[in-house]
Amino acid sequence: MSNQITTPLYNKLVSVFESNGKTTDGDLSALRDNAFDSFKSKGFPTPKEEDWRFTNLTPFLSDDYHLANYHTVDAVAMKAAVEAATIPGLDAFTLVVFNGVIQPALSVLPEQAEVSIQSLNDISNAAVLNDYLALSAAEHNAMVSLNTALYKDGYFIEVKKGVVVEKPIHIIQLYSANENVLVQQRNHVVVNQHANAELIETAVILQGSALLFVNSVSHVSVRENAQLVQYKIQNNETTERLVNYTHVTQERSSRYDNFTFCLPGAALIRNNLEVVLNGSATETHMMGLYLVGEHQLTDNHTAIHHRFPNCESNEIYKGVLLENGRAVFNGKVFVERPAQKTNAFQQNNNLLLSDKAQVYAKPQLEIFADDVKCSHGCTVGQFDPESLFYLRSRGISEASSRKLLVEAFMFDVTQRIENEALKDYVQRLIYDKMETSFSTIV
C-alpha cells in the first residue's frame, strides 16, 4: 500500500464493491473477488512503479467518474455515426458496440457458421470464459485486475476452424456520456486452427463534453497454423482517457500482425500489448505509429515472449512529437533458454518537432538462449538539415518539404498495410492531423 493513490474514484470503487457484498456472478464470482482484492491492495499505478515511471495517472483520476452509464442515444443519431465512421472504399463486415454493448441492429456480421460473435455476457461456457479471464489477469497490472473485477460487457469473436473470413471485420466503438463515466470493457478473440481473419477497430464519441475514461482489456488467441491481422486506430477526442491492455497467445506455426496508430486527440493514451509465442515456428509483427501534440501523453508498452525455438518477431514503432507533447515507448523482448534459433528485431525512431516535446524511449532485450539473431535500436532526433536543404534547392517550399520528410519518416509503418482502402484512410487521417494539430510544420 506504500504506492497507493487515494482518489475520489478509488474510494468510490472500493465503497461500491464492498457495499454490494462482492459479486454474485456465478462461476466467475471468485475470480472477480480475487481480482478486486488485488486491485485494492495495489491501488492505481504510480510513477514509483517501473512500468509507469513516465506516466502519472493522478491528474486523470482527480475527476469524479460514474461507474455505470445508461445514457441512451437516438437510433437515427447512432446510425448516422456508424455511417460517418465507415472507412471509404473498405468492403468489410461491421460490428457496432455502444458503450461496451453489441448493437446487432446496426451491425453487418459474417455467417454464424463461420464466425461466432456474441456479447461476452452471453457466453454460456463459464469454464472456458474463466480460463480466458484468468489467462489475462496479469496480477502485476492493477488496471487489468480492476477490469477483471468490474467489467460490464464486451464482445466475444470466434473464427471457426479452417475458415478464411472473406472480408475484414470493422469494429466500431461508439461512446456517449452525459456525465463523467468509467467504461470497463472486456473483449476476447479466438482464431482457431488454419483460420484467417482481419480485424479493424476504430472509436467515435457521439455527443457530450463529459469525460470518458476507458479501461479496456482484450485477449487474443491465435491457434495452430492460424493468422490474424489486427488494426487499432486511435483517433479520439480531448475528453477521452484511454488505458488498453491486449494479451495475445500464439500457438505453433501461427502468425499475428498488429498495427497501432495513435493520432493527436485523447489527453491520455496508454497501450499495453503483450504477445506470448507458445509454440515453435510462430511469426509476430508489431507496427506502431504515434503522433503527439499539445499537452497530450501517449504511452506504448510492448512485450514479446519467445518460449519456443525457430520463431520470428519484428517490431517497428515510430513517433512524431510537436508542441508540449509527451510520448513513452517501452518495448521488451524476452528470449527464454529453449527458444533457440530465434530471430527478433526491434526498432524505435522518434522525430521531435519542438524544443518542448519529450519522449522517453526504452527498448529492451533479455536473452537467455545462445543461438539467436536479435537486434534492437532507438533514435531521437529532429529534421535532417541536409535533406531539408536538398528539397528546398529543388524548388519545394519549406512547408511542403517538412511535410514530405515527416511522411517519409512514417512510411516504414504505413507501407506495410496491405489493405489498400485502409492504407489510404490512415494516410488521409495522418495528413489531416498534420494540417491541423501539426500546423507549425506546414
Mean pLDDT of 387-395: 81
Q: What is the mean pLDDT of the chain?
A: 89
Q: pLDDT-based confidence at 1, cuts 50/70/90?
A: very low
Sign of CA dihedral 274, 218, 254, 279: positive
Mean pLDDT of 375-396: 84
Q: pLDDT-based confidence at 271, cuts 50/70/90?
A: very high
Q: pLDDT value at position 128?
A: 60
Residue 290 has pLDDT above 90, yes or no: yes
Tens of pLDDT, residues 161-182? 999 999 999 999 999 888 899 9
Sheet with 240-250, edge to edge strand ranges? 115-119, 155-159, 181-191, 212-222, 240-250, 268-277, 297-306, 326-335, 358-367
Dihedral angle of Cα 242, 108, 104, 119, to the nearest 10 degrees: -60
Residue 135 has pLDDT above 60, yes or no: no
Residue 67 has pLDDT above 60, yes or no: yes
CA pair distance 107, 364, nearest whole angstrom: 41
Residue 415 has pLDDT above 60, yes or no: yes
- Please count the other Cβ atoms lying within 10 Å of the Cβ belonging to residue 256: 23
Residue 22 has pLDDT above 90, yes or no: no
Q: pLDDT value at position 51?
A: 92
Residue 71 has pLDDT above 80, yes or no: no
Tens of pLDDT, residues 225-242? 999 999 999 998 889 999
Q: What is the pTM of this model?
A: 0.93
C-alpha cell at 311: 520463431
Q: pLDDT value at position 133?
A: 64
Least confident of 26-30, 136-140, 233-237, 355-359: 136-140
**Could you write out the DSSP letters of every residue in 144-196?**
HHHHHHH--B-EEEEEPTT-B-SS-EEEEEEE--SS-EEEEEEEEEEE-TT-E
Q: pLDDT-based confidence at 6, cuts 50/70/90?
A: low
Q: How many CA atoms lie within 13 A of 261 on its CB side?
A: 26
Tens of pLDDT, residues 79-95? 999 999 999 999 999 99
CA pair distance 438, 357, nearest whole angstrom: 13
CA pair distance 221, 88, nearest whole angstrom: 30
- Please count the other Cβ atoms lying within 10 Å of the Cβ belonging to residue 373: 10
Q: pLDDT value at position 280?
A: 97
What is the residue extent of each domain of the chain? 8-441
Mean pLDDT of 97-125: 89
Tens of pLDDT, residues 318-370? 999 988 899 999 999 999 999 999 999 999 999 998 889 999 999 999 999 99
367, with CB counted inside 10 A (0-12, 13-18, 19+), is middle
345, with CB counted inside 10 A (0-12, 13-18, 19+), is middle
Pairing, β 358-367 against β 196-205: unpaired
Q: pLDDT value at position 277?
A: 97
